[in-house]
Amino acid sequence: MSDDSHEQNGRKNVPSRQRRRFEGISSRAYEHPADRSALVALRKLSGFDTVFKALSGLLPERSLRLLFLSDSVRVSDAQFAHLNDMLRDACYILDLEKVPPMYVNQDPQPNAMCIGLDEPIIVVTTGLVELLDEEEMRAVVGHEVGHALSGHSVYRTILLFLTSLALRVAWIPLGNLAIMAIVTALREWFRKSELSADRAGLLVGQDLRASMRGLMKIAGGNHLHEMNVDAFLAQADEYEAAGDLRDSVLKIMNVLPRSHPFTTVRAAELKKWAESRDHQRIMDGHYPRRGEDKDTSVTDSFRQSAASYASDVKNSKDPLMKLVTDIAGGAGDLAGDLGGRVRRGFGGFAGGGGGSSKDRRPDDEA
């Protein structure tokens, strides 16, 4: 358990209630397998940190720091003191030695981010501060501290830079295509990193209900009396299982431009992890330490990532994922059955020139 009071960087902080502290915890403890394998591989690359720091002259980090310093409110004992307490407490619980600077930016859109190459900075919008209560906000602050501990701020800054660059060179067909390919890959990684940071937020807040409330508010606003956690989670199940193969393709297209997973999906993923043995082991004090990171096997991390993806596909209710599972398992006569199943999945390609009705078998009807 964390103490009722403790010293952090010479400042006394009194949490609103006792929480467990995870001394020396490695970010590997809470990172999503897909997120973790990518980070472990990058960290193992010789000179990786040096190369990215060399990019600091090209990336807008200094400009961003000056921008927030000049046009936002820096959290401290004198300004947004309650957020400052949450920030210090989150760093204490996750044993992050240096408390990153935190700013409140005037923006009605609820949002938060952790950016920076040399040192992370955390930014939260006024829309988010006004939307969430204390325990919900504590989970968000823990979420951002989790990003800082994992080193996500480096890749987030690069993603912001490349997104901006893509807009500037949009008139160059091949140049824009190459940059957008990198941006798309970074977004796919970052969506997984958001699931990792949600777990870090739960470790800091140690209140699953508050984490769920916060996600519901981000989706539906400050109307908790009109919302229900079970019904909200049911939406995630309906989203995953609903429709046919056309809907599966539309889901992929809808999520590609996003840096964050859909909110109902995040809630369902967090609840599943909160009920897992991995989470319970961390709460019991059994977790990997940062001192062991250098001995982490890249091969093992990729194996865990592959196993996670395979499990997700196997257990998915999505029509496309179910079809992939059946194909991988050799279900049915692929030569005679696959074409019919695909046609049924896409509604017989109605209106799409998929052949006349007399070319279709009776069981191919949508």
265-276 pLDDT, tens digit each:
899 999 999 999
- Residue-level pLDDT at 304: 62
DSSP annotation string for 213-225: HHHHHHHH-S-GG
In DSSP terms, 12 is beta-bridged to: 7
Mean pLDDT of 213-242: 90
Q: Which amino acid is at 275?
A: E
Q: Is residue 5 predicted with pLDDT exceeding 50?
A: no
Mean pLDDT of 282-310: 74
- Residue-level pLDDT at 136: 97
Confidence of residue 135 (pLDDT cuts 50, 70, 90): very high
Do 81 and 191 form a contact (C-beta atoms < 8 A)? no
DSSP annotation string for 71-124: HSEE-SSSSSHHHHHHHHHHHHHTT-SSPPPEEEE--SS--EEEE-SSS-EEEE
Q: Which of the two residues, 54 and 27, has the higher pLDDT score?
A: 27
**pLDDT, the chain, mean:** 75
Q: What share of the chain is helix, strand, coil (3-state, %, to 5)?
A: 65, 5, 30
Do 47 and 233 form a contact (C-beta atoms < 8 A)? no
Q: Which amino acid is at 285?
A: G
Confidence of residue 18 (pLDDT cuts 50, 70, 90): confident
Confidence of residue 139 (pLDDT cuts 50, 70, 90): very high
- Residue-level pLDDT at 67: 85
Q: Of the given ranges (16-30, 209-223, 293-307), which has the lowest mean pLDDT?
A: 293-307
Closest C-alpha among 35, 79, 18 to residue 193 = 35
232-241 CB contacts, 8 Å cutoff, 24+ apart: 232/264, 232/267, 233/264, 233/267, 233/268, 233/271, 235/264, 236/264, 236/265, 236/267, 236/268, 237/268, 237/317, 239/264, 239/265, 240/265, 240/316, 240/317, 240/318, 241/317, 241/318
Mean pLDDT of 127-155: 94
Q: Which of the two residues, 213 and 152, has the higher pLDDT score?
A: 213
Q: Is residue 156 predicted with pLDDT exceeding 50?
A: yes
Mean pLDDT of 333-344: 49
- Residue-level pLDDT at 248: 52
> Which range has highest mean pLDDT (11-15, 105-109, 318-322, 351-355)?
105-109
Q: Is residue 164 predicted with pLDDT exceeding 60?
A: yes
Q: Which of the two residues, 253 and 365, has the higher pLDDT score?
A: 253
Confidence of residue 335 (pLDDT cuts 50, 70, 90): very low
Overall residue count recorded for the chain in this entry: 366
H or E, element range at 8:
strand 6-8
Say how far apart CA 201 and CA 138 lie, in whole Å: 8
pTM of the full structure: 0.72
- Residue-level pLDDT at 37: 65
Say how far apart CA 34 and CA 168 lie, in whole Å: 31
Q: How far is CA 21 from CA 2, 36, 86, 89, in A?
A: 5, 22, 14, 10
Closest C-alpha among 273, 294, 249 to residue 194 = 273
43-94 pLDDT, tens digit each:
555 555 555 555 555 556 677 788 888 999 999 999 999 999 999 999 999 9
Mean pLDDT of 221-242: 88
Q: Of the given ranges (204-218, 222-236, 284-298), which has the lowest mean pLDDT?
A: 284-298
176-213 pLDDT, tens digit each:
565 666 666 667 777 888 999 999 999 999 999 999 99
Sign of the CA dihedral running 227, 233, 234, 238:
positive
Q: Which amino acid is at 343?
A: R
Mean pLDDT of 139-159: 88
